[in-house]
Structure 1
Amino acid sequence: MNVYLSPEEILRVRDAALETGLADPMVRPLLFDGILPRYRGTLPLLAAPGMQVHSDLNQMNRVERLVDGSVPLEIWLRNAIAQTTEAAALTLFQRILDDVARSAGGEPDIVAQTPAPEIKEEIVHRDDTVPFAFLRGGDAAGAAVARLKVPPYQDGEPLQPNGFPHAGTGWLIAPALLITNHHVVNARAGAGEARPLAEAGDLRLQARHTRARFDFETDDVELEEAAVSELVAADAELDYAILRLTEDPRRPVLRLAAKPLSVAEGEVVAVNIIQHPGGQPKRVALRNNLVYAADERDVRYFTDTRGGSSGSPVLTDDWRVVALHRGTRRVEDVMFQGRTTAFVNVGTQMDLVMRHLKEHSPEIHAEIAAAQHDGESVPAGGVPQE
């Protein structure tokens, strides 16, 4: 059973590992760094280095995720990239990692569009300083962001045998309403047409059994998890889902931008993403995440995200949400910071989500609109929008 990679792709990764010295038994512990030791101990040990790598890859390829929600093949590939300097192998490992991470997170396989003009060198000469209140605004915004764990169900029962939780990120859009991606709540691996959709009943069960952990900033502190009572609105095409928590967590909600983000030619706009990559403690990608392009539906930007970041808020410098991060889009001939990039990240414009809610879930739209104007939203932090 091949979960993520075809046999041909396994062979290509094995050959690249052999050519770059990653098959050396002394390197193997580095490749497994971060993978649960209990799982590592179940892998067979072979005498021949090439056979060992091939076996390791095949074994990991059969595991969708472990009990902690991690994907061993994804971690192995990230470690392989960190240990590789040879250009061709790096390109291969990065492409395979992109596919595995997107499939593991259930992110839509978005078709590349015609590249827009490259960002020019004028960004080097732009005053990139912000008021100190920017930091306070970011701290306040982070309080509204939570790590999500969504257990998969099938036919009304926990999915077996590999029904381990899928990780994602969500944030408060109203006092007891949490928004994330539909594909996070869908809790199915795969991309594009290969990604199965949970039946409606199973989707509701998965939502009700989702757990949200606010203030998750380190593994050293045990935190209570907020429970979900129901899925109140969702759309697979726009890739959003709104969950009602069983209790109001009594913390400020994130404020939505007043209008869709647009980027004029030659304009430089920075966005910030508060996220739980890989289901790990909270991280933030700040300000060098420049917007590549924006239209009525999508905002596309350069940033660092990975599986688990799905559902994160995409914020401008005044800490207002302009988009709901959902995945990655492949691009060609695009330069960023002096190097070619194979992909940009993409989020759905929140204005479009709100318009969809107004049409299809007017009660939820009204609840969110009221919360956005009741004075409980995160303060702007003193940074004007450009």
Structure 2
Amino acid sequence: MSDTYLSQDDVVQLRDTAVETGLSDPALRNLLFAGILPKYRASLPILAAPGQQVQSDLNELNRVERLIDGTVPLAVWLRNATDQLTDAAARDVVLKALDRVARDAAGEPDVAPDVPTGESKEEIIFRDDTVPFGFLSDGERAGSSVARIKVLPYQGGALLQPVALPHSGTGWLIAPGLLVTNHHVVNARKRTDGRQQVADPSDLQLQARGSRSRFDYLSEDDTGAEEAQASELVAWDEELDYAVLRLTGAPPDTFLRIASAPLAVDKDTPVALNIIQHPGGEPKRIALRNNLAFEADDTDVRYFTDTRGGSSGSPVLTDDWTVVALHRGSRRVTDVSFQGKSTAFVNVGTQLSAIMRHLREHTPQIHDEIAAAQSR
């Protein structure tokens, strides 16, 4: 399997885009490397020709899975590049590469891309989109149950060599002391060549027990706060992409309420959804605007929102802050419109009802523990 995120053809296309749009200007190199560890940047070769410099930088970044601080340097470079571009076609080239890198770095599984045309603005223009003012304070309480989780990869019972670097995701409390996130977050493996290496069950348990969940990470200035550890990975499923961890270390007493039935979506009555998340392992954020359910079936919910790598494992909530789905990924799509405009993304989450059904069938004691908490 390849050890790089992008093919050489992809790198060449990015180089050509950078040259054509002026991103290869040496004066912009500092901006493109903003947020990447200076010590790593200083180790990169310096070339005289701007185009060769960009390709050299991309080749070097493409070979690094992540740095010691857990960041994926190629994803940071691509994100910085999109911020500098105004040409739509050029941004599309860079965003497609960024999507692939962010998805593979997180180990995010493929989600079927065949989605039909979405809602148009005319279908919701006469709908009252206001909510009670208490929506804000209720959302703040809901957010206290959401954490950034970091997971170190193990292989053969030891930290992955040569350097075990943390994978970041989002998790949330479904019952006192029980945190839910994606299986691929706990699996802590990047995707290569369209596939993801799956950790051995014993290594998966080690990774879960070595994880750290922080519930109060609200800004970059928040340092040194207490993190909750996990004592055990009590339930998981790769296909539904969920994992349940039992936490220690005094996690919050609060937990999120979950839907008892699958979310149903009527094309004529869009459902607003909200996602509390830690994108890229960064401080807590919330997606509220332009975030409507697109379609749903018994297992999946598809919706429009803003998420990034690291948002995997986030709760997808309705306006009463009930969790209806576990966010697991986003896909770039074509020929899909939203509010009269073409949209490049459809996000996908697993219905909580499907997860609870799977728990009832495979780990009934965990299902009953959650159900008892939810019935209080």
> Which residue number corresponds to residue 204 of structure 1?
205
Does the 8 A contact of 1:65 with 1:162 survive in 2?
A: no
> Which residue number corresponds to residue 135 of structure 1?
136
Does the 8 A contact of 2:121 with 2:339 survive in 1?
A: no
% same residue: 63
Does the 8 A contact of 2:120 with 2:340 survive in 1?
A: no
> Which residue number corresponds to residue 190 of structure 2?
189
Take 1:200 and 1:71, find their aligned partners in 2: how far apart are those partners?
26
Take 1:364 and 1:192, find their aligned partners in 2: how far apart are those partners?
35
Matches within 5 A, 1:255-294: 255-294=257-296
Deviates more, 1:123-132 or 1:314-323: 123-132
Q: Residue 140 of structure 2 aligns to which amino acid in structure 1? A: D
- Output one character per residue of 1:57-108: Cα deviation in whole Å (capped at 9) or x when no partner: 0111011111111111111111111111222211111111111110011111
How far the C-alpha of 1:287 sits from its partner, in A, is 4.2
- Output one character per residue of 1:190-209: Cα deviation in whole Å (capped at 9) or x when no partner: 16852110111111110110
Deviates more, 1:82-91 or 1:277-286: 82-91
Take 1:372 and 1:273, find their aligned partners in 2: how far apart are those partners?
20
> Which residue number corresponds to residue 364 of structure 2?
362
- Output one character per residue of 1:104-135: Cα deviation in whole Å (capped at 9) or x when no partner: 11111122124145334232332211111000
Give structure 1 stretches of 5+ with no counterpart: 375-386
> Which residue number corresponds to residue 123 of structure 1?
124
> Which residue number corresponds to residue 383 of structure 1?
none
How far the C-alpha of 1:18 sits from its partner, in A, is 0.5
Cα pair distance change 1:171/1:3, threshold 3 Å: same
- Output one character per residue of 1:291-317: Cα deviation in whole Å (capped at 9) or x when no partner: 111111111111111111000000000
- Output one character per residue of 1:113-171: Cα deviation in whole Å (capped at 9) or x when no partner: 24145334232332211111000110000000000000001111111224200000000
> Which residue number corresponds to residue 165 of structure 2?
164
Take 1:178 and 1:93, find their aligned partners in 2: how far apart are those partners?
35
> Which residue number corresponds to residue 36 of structure 2?
35
Q: Residue 275 of structure 2 aligns to which amino acid in structure 1? A: I
Take 1:197 and 1:144, find their aligned partners in 2: how far apart are those partners?
28
> Which residue number corresponds to residue 21 of structure 1?
22
Does the 8 A contact of 2:34 with 2:80 survive in 1?
A: yes
Q: Residue 138 of structure 2 aligns to which amino acid in structure 1? A: G
> Which residue number corresponds to residue 61 of structure 1?
62
Take 1:275 and 1:192, find their aligned partners in 2: how far apart are those partners?
28
Does the 8 A contact of 2:144 with 2:252 survive in 1?
A: no
Q: Residue 227 of structure 1 aligns to which amino acid in structure 2? A: Q
How far the C-alpha of 1:328 sits from its partner, in A, is 1.4
Take 2:117 and 2:350, find their aligned partners in 1: how far apart are those partners?
18
How far the C-alpha of 1:248 sits from its partner, in A, is 4.4
**TM-score normalised by length of structure 2:** 0.96
Take 1:36 and 1:288, find their aligned partners in 2: how far apart are those partners?
34
> Which residue number corresponds to residue 253 of structure 1?
255
Secondary structure of 1:204's counterpart equals helix
Deviates more, 1:337-346 or 1:196-205: 337-346
Cα pair distance change 1:138/1:117, threshold 3 Å: closer
Take 1:123 and 1:35, find their aligned partners in 2: how far apart are those partners?
42
Take 2:95 and 2:110, find their aligned partners in 1: how far apart are those partners?
16
How far the C-alpha of 1:24 sits from its partner, in A, is 0.1
Cα pair distance change 1:95/1:2, threshold 3 Å: same
Take 2:194 and 2:38, find their aligned partners in 1: how far apart are those partners?
34
**TM-score normalised by length of structure 1:** 0.94
How far the C-alpha of 1:174 sits from its partner, in A, is 0.8
Take 2:318 and 2:163, find their aligned partners in 1: how far apart are those partners?
38
Matches within 5 A, 1:1-386: 2-190=3-191, 193-222=194-223, 223-374=225-376
Secondary structure of 1:124's counterpart equals coil
Give structure 2 stretches of 5+ with no counterpart: none
Q: CA RMSD in A?
A: 1.4
Does the 8 A contact of 1:277 with 1:308 survive in 2?
A: yes
Does the 8 A contact of 1:107 with 1:191 survive in 2?
A: no
Secondary structure of 1:253's counterpart equals coil
Take 1:114 and 1:18, find their aligned partners in 2: how far apart are those partners?
34
Cα pair distance change 1:80/1:273, threshold 3 Å: same
Deviates more, 1:340-349 or 1:246-255: 246-255
Does the 8 A contact of 1:115 with 1:331 survive in 2?
A: no
Does the 8 A contact of 2:184 with 2:238 survive in 1?
A: yes
Does the 8 A contact of 1:143 with 1:251 survive in 2?
A: no
Secondary structure of 2:291's counterpart equals strand
Take 1:187 and 1:127, find their aligned partners in 2: how far apart are those partners?
42
Number of residue pairs aligned between Structure 1 and Structure 2: 374
Cα pair distance change 1:288/1:208, threshold 3 Å: same
Secondary structure of 1:333's counterpart equals coil
Q: Residue 150 of structure 1 aligns to which amino acid in structure 2? A: V
Q: Residue 66 of structure 1 aligns to which amino acid in structure 2? A: L
Secondary structure of 1:270's counterpart equals coil
Does the 8 A contact of 1:314 with 1:322 survive in 2?
A: yes
